[in-house]
Amino acid sequence: MKNFYLSVMTIFLFAFGYAQNANVTWGEEFKLKKGSTDLAVIHADNTGIYVKESHMALKSYFVIAATMRESATLIKLDKNLNQVYDQDFNKELKGKDYERFFFLKDKLFVLASIYVKKEKKLTLYAAPVDKNNGELSGEFMEITSWTKEAKSDDINFNFTYNSDSTKMVIVSSIEGRDKNNYEVRQFDDKLKQVGKTVSITNEIDPKTFQLADVLYTENGNVVMVGRVYEYQEGKKKKAKYLDFANYNIRIHNSEGGLVKEINTQINGKWLVSTKVIQVPKRDIIIAAFYSNTKRGDEINGILAQRINPKTGDVVSTSSKEINTSLITKLDDDDDDDGDDESRKERRERKKLEKIQNEEDGFSKYMVFRNFLYTPDSGVVILAEKYHHYEYAQTTTSGGGGFGGGMSSRTTWYQVYECGDLMMTKVDKAGEIGWFRIMPKQQREVIQSGSSSGYGSGLSFSAGNNFFDANAYNMPFYAGFGVLAGNKSATIIFNDSKRNINTLELGQRVKKMTYFRKSECFGVDLDLVTGKYTRTILFSNDDVPTAMPRLASGLGKDLYMVGKEDRMLGRSKIAIAKVSLKN
């Protein structure tokens, strides 16, 4: 099957004759466990490529009902994309709830938890995994635990890395009606706690605060980024709803004390979306999109602040009003100046000019995705128009004949809309060097659960909350992945073949909803000049449908999963390696 895929790829690329900056190699396909809920390449290093598959397993069984838990399988492939092992952890996780696999330095751990209802206590465990065979190389050991004060309290936690990825950071919160407190702990590669627990108290009403991001800096300070909401009057009497008001960014020291609260209402601007990063051995960078109005429906500019990680002082602030008039048309180096403009080209140019003359802002749903460092000490920012929501459909049946009763069934769907790709460069002085928009429209709908009058089903929602951001790796096929080189980057995503020449705002875009019939594109972006070309890497009709957003990089190689769903029988997957030529 591997040779078949490679043959198809060769014929496909030869037929279209596209030049590209990346090579694609597919490995052999293998079957996937039934009932999988999650699938992603989670790590790649010199020992191989690691793929995680999640599924539901039986937790407890009663005469009339059963409870389920999440379990996982770890799949390893070698550098030639041949499967090394397929290790199911159902037995090892019995009596526990799977949390995640965690790679730390050259070690791998599986994390799980147990909640004892009688004691109102949640305990987190970890066990080392032998990367050579996928088996446990030691027993589960307790890492930390939390105890509720009241039954109604919620225990939330998530995992991240410290600034140089040498330690595991666990951020937790026990949330109740009247409190909103957090704890931050740091663990070494033996999973022993390093330093004291950082306890942070937040006086903001828990109902109106949502933790969005946490950064553990090199000097031990903790940056907390939260979204603050306000109650607004609804249409009906006494009806109220929560509406986003502003971001709250605070820097705390290792004792939990407040070092600085960053003003997020700068010069009358309201931050709509923000991301905090730390440049290695340098300042904290706060990048944000802002609106000129408090509850604006569009983005009017981009802002970058450099923050001293020790004192929290603002080193510099750079902002730039952005609108469609900033967008520059791509130069075609192959054009002959003596050629007349075609009717199609003239129509597309006038569309862009019309949009630019109106100087419209951009959707408030624009979010940051990647930060790429350039050879000339600048930063290329990649952002995407992104909107996620959930809806339900209810159907009824029965009610006729012999007194049969009515029954209903409700099905929930998660909708992910991944739109236009924004690319811009900020130089070392904080000025925007170039600004590009490449149109795309991806819409992925995933059935997330169902219930009926005779029982209940599984339902979940993956939101923007820091604590559930990694709960489910959705969407699967929409979005994009990035393979960065020294001078260029390849942006990979699924799209319609009809959009092969769609490069600039103002051009007509075909929406992609059926990814099985899509093409996997590569956009080769010059990180210095901002020039880019768009080519087809392969057709998803010939190989398992690619998941670029869930890929993992290693040097100049990007590894991603391809998945083929089948009506009968188990799904099949294969792994692709995308390599930069330079």
Name the band, by pLDDT with cuts 50, 70 and 90, for residue 35: low
Tell me, what amino acid is at 433?
G
Name the band, by pLDDT with cuts 50, 70 and 90, for residue 448: confident
pLDDT of residue 269: 77
Per-range mean pLDDT, top range of 227-241, 264-278, 406-420: 406-420
Whole-number average pLDDT of the chain: 79
pLDDT of residue 298: 79
Name which residue leads in pLDDT, 321 or 133: 133
Dmax of the chain from CA atoms? 82
Query: Cβ distance 242 to 494 under 8 Å?
Result: no
**CB-CB neighbours of 461 under 10 Å:** 15
pLDDT of residue 379: 83
Q: Which of 18-22, 109-113, 455-459, 471-475 is least confident? A: 455-459
d(CA 111, CA 93): 9
pLDDT of residue 147: 93
Name the band, by pLDDT with cuts 50, 70 and 90, for residue 68: low
pLDDT in tens, 515-562: 999 999 999 999 999 999 999 999 999 889 999 998 888 888 999 999
Assess whether the previous peptide bond of 475 is cis (omega < 30° from 0).
yes
pLDDT of residue 354: 52
Q: Which of 36-50, 99-113, 132-146, 399-413 is least confident? A: 399-413
pLDDT of 169 above 70: yes
pTM for the whole thing? 0.78
pLDDT in tens, 288-332: 888 887 766 778 888 888 888 888 888 877 777 776 554 444 444
Take residue 430 and report the two structure tokens written for it: 């904080």
- 3-state helix/strand/coil string of 216-247: ECCCCCEEEEEEEEEEEECCCCCCEEEEEEEE
pLDDT in tens, 182-195: 999 999 999 999 98
pLDDT of residue 428: 73
pLDDT of residue 577: 92
Strands 552-554 and 545-546: unpaired
Query: Cβ distance 215 to 198 under 8 Å?
Result: no
Listing DSSP states for 314-328 in one string gives: EEEEEEEE--GGGPP
pLDDT in tens, 327-358: 444 444 333 333 444 565 555 545 545 544 44
For residues 504-543, b (16+ Cβ closer than 10 Å) or e, as one string? Answer: bbbbebeebeebeebbbbbbbbbbbebebbbbbbbbbeeb
pLDDT of residue 382: 93
Name the band, by pLDDT with cuts 50, 70 and 90, for residue 450: low
pLDDT in tens, 204-258: 888 888 888 888 888 889 999 888 888 877 666 556 667 777 788 899 998 999 9
pLDDT of residue 309: 84
Name the band, by pLDDT with cuts 50, 70 and 90, for residue 465: confident
pLDDT of residue 118: 92
d(CA 502, CA 536): 12
pLDDT of residue 16: 35
C-alpha torsion sign, points 511, 382, 445, 562: positive
pLDDT of 500 above 70: yes
Share of the chain above pLDDT 70, in %: 76
Residue 66 contacts by C-beta under 8 Å, 6 or more apart in sequence? 58, 59, 60
Average pLDDT (88-113) is 93
